[in-house]
Amino acid sequence: MIYEESEIKDLLKCEHCSRPYDEYDTPKMLPCCGKTICNTCLQLTEEQVNNNKFKCIACNKDETKPYNGFQVNQLAVNFLRKRPKEISRGLEADKLKKNLIDLDVLVSRLIFEMDNGEHLIAEDCKELKRQVQLVKEEKIEEINKHCDALFLKIDTYEEKCKNKYKEMNESKKKANELIKTVDESIQQQNAYLRQLKIDEKETMECNQKMEELIEKIENERKNIKNTMYGNQVIKFQENKKPIDEEILGKFFYQTFEFTVIIDLFNYFILNFNDLHLKIENSECFISHNQIA
């Protein structure tokens, strides 16, 4: 028989801690359960000795310590000395071995998927929700960063405008003189209107003067504000884009191409006897569990 290195290595490891043996680690057998353990685990077992009693680290039983000590597993030692190597029987044989392993994995997955459909659907949808949540958190982080940047611009703008306002002494002086002139005109026109009899033509002239003063006041307000805000008044423009699929992303349906695996599975089931015969003739044996 041809033994593969991987299979032998599975036999050459501690049955308690699963650590592989080496030439410095003599495997010892436990008399109570027949399992083979490494020196490290054996020391843990021997530390529990009390009046020639020990508690087995593998099966957890209280046992009497062997009179001649724990015996060496000679079979494992012989395997260690042989140092088995992987034997290749040609590229096609290696390819067949890989294909059989891949097929066995795929069939196992197919059986699991058929028997656990509800669980798989729930897990897939859970993963979709997780992805949406991650995108949402990323978008919120982007919005927060953008918001902080806007606040910084507003703070800078506010400081600039306040400094401009502090430098407006000359403009304020001119505006105060205009306000004084306008107040005097208002008082005069109010006194004129309190007369019992007023002239239509004179009243038209008064209205013309008042409209000129209104225009002057409006222009002066504009000049003051332009100076105060540095001739640039900023305003906030809201993004009117609705919060919908375009913000976070949207789902799209994709064809699930699983027919290749099903066809392959059906092919092996329908042609099992013929394939088994061909494999036997090739002196390569496959267990039923690897095909079905």
In the predicted model, is pLDDT for residue 144 greater than 70?
yes
pLDDT the model gives residue 152: 94
Domain end call among 223, 243, 263: 243
In the predicted model, is pLDDT for residue 171 greater than 90?
no
The dihedral formed by the CA atoms of 123, 129, 133 and 134, expressed in degrees to the nearest 10: 50
φ/ψ of residue 37, rounded to 5? -130, 165
Would 276 be classed as within a structural domain? no
Tens-place pLDDT, residues 237-286: 887 777 666 778 888 787 766 555 555 555 555 555 554 444 444 444 44
Q: What residue type is assigned to position 233 of the chain?
A: V
Give the largest CA-CA distance in the chain. Answer: 142
**β-bridge mates for residue 55, sequence order:** 62
Whether residues 60 and 151 share a domain: the answer is no
Domain end call among 243, 263, 286: 243
Would 99 be classed as within a structural domain? no
Whether residues 56 and 126 share a domain: the answer is no
Q: Name the more confident of 6 and 207.
A: 207
Number of structural domains (the chain) is: 2
Would 127 be classed as within a structural domain? yes
90 DSSP assignment:
-
Whether residues 5 and 52 share a domain: the answer is yes
pLDDT the model gives residue 182: 92
pLDDT the model gives residue 282: 44
Whether residues 83 and 28 share a domain: the answer is yes
Would 256 be classed as within a structural domain? no
In the predicted model, is pLDDT for residue 57 greater than 50?
yes
Q: Name the more confident of 260 and 129.
A: 129
Whether residues 216 and 170 share a domain: the answer is yes
Whether residues 77 and 157 share a domain: the answer is no
> Rounded CA gap, 105 and 111, in Å?
10
- Which one of 36-50, 167-181, 240-254 scores highest in mean pLDDT? 167-181
Would 197 be classed as within a structural domain? yes
Task: Tell which residue, 202, 210, 211, 221, has the closest CA to residue 186.
Answer: 210
Q: Which single residue is written with the structure tokens 């843990």? A: 44
54 class by beta-carbon count within 10 Å (0-12 exposed, 13-18 middle, 19+ buried): buried
> What number of helices (H) and strands (E) belong to the chain?
11, 4
* Percent of the chain topping pLDDT 90: 21
pTM: predicted TM-score of the whole model, two decimal places: 0.45
Q: Name the more confident of 111 and 273.
A: 111
Q: How confident is the model at residue 131 (pLDDT cuts 50, 70, 90)?
A: very high
Would 253 be classed as within a structural domain? no
pLDDT the model gives residue 137: 93
Domain end call among 87, 105, 130: 87
**CA of 268: how far to CAs of 20, 114, 222, in Å?**
37, 18, 89
Residue 23: domain span: 1-87
Q: Name the more confident of 215 and 61.
A: 215
CATH code where residue 32 lies: 3.30.40.10
Tens-place pLDDT, residues 175-205: 999 999 999 999 999 998 888 888 889 999 9
pLDDT the model gives residue 273: 52
267 class by beta-carbon count within 10 Å (0-12 exposed, 13-18 middle, 19+ buried): exposed
Would 100 be classed as within a structural domain? no
